Amino acid sequence: MKKTERAELVLKQLKKLYPNPPIPLDHTNSFTLLVAVLLSAQCTDERVNQVTPALFKLGSTPQKMAKVPVEKILEIIRPCGLSPRKSKAISELSKILVDQHESQVPQSFEALEALPGVGHKTASVVMAQAFGVPAFPVDTHIHRLAQRWGLTNGKNVKQTEADLKKLFPPSTWNKLHLQIIFYGREFCSARGCDGTKCHICRSCYPNRKKPKRTNKA
């Protein structure tokens, strides 16, 4: 099976399973989405959703969050891990949005990635889910599944993102990255599948006998 055929198989199966995948991080606007995605680094979405109601009660806009003491932010988000760094980033980016962006989340990759604590993956999620701009956020889970399905042999998420963008039409990107995440959690997790067990892995590689070793993200 060619790579393009595997891509078509993956897209067809994921559309069938998850026709309208929800955004797993609870939010009410582009700012709260930005903060939630920042908090999700090395933390589960479930944990983030447990923490953010108290945080957003204090600051659901850049203006309000900029006034919250960083110590208070730290206290609330501590369960998310990396809390000293994340709390400082949330405080600083809120002030920057107020001072430099008229209290609005900017709608460009360049401006987003210039904010404290915001990398390319976080910026991609915000551009895709808040503003509807075609983007393909790739985390370690998508990186792993893309390799198991023979869609990339990239040694890092940057290369995997580039390979996936070549394989799939831009109109599918914003849904597809969510669909892959949901499928990975349900059927093709790091421990639940090794590249030989789930339906898509077996469909892409019916003759694969040995576990697929994943290049590190």
Question: Is 139 known to be catalytic?
Answer: yes
Indicate which residue of 88, 121, 175, 212 is catalytic.
121
Indicate which residue of 45, 57, 139, 165 is catalytic.
139
Question: Is 99 known to be catalytic?
Answer: no
Q: How far apart are CA 64 and CA 94, in angstroms?
A: 8
Q: How far apart are CA 80 and CA 46, in angstroms?
A: 10
End-to-end CA distance of the chain: 25
> Which residues form the catalytic set?
121, 139
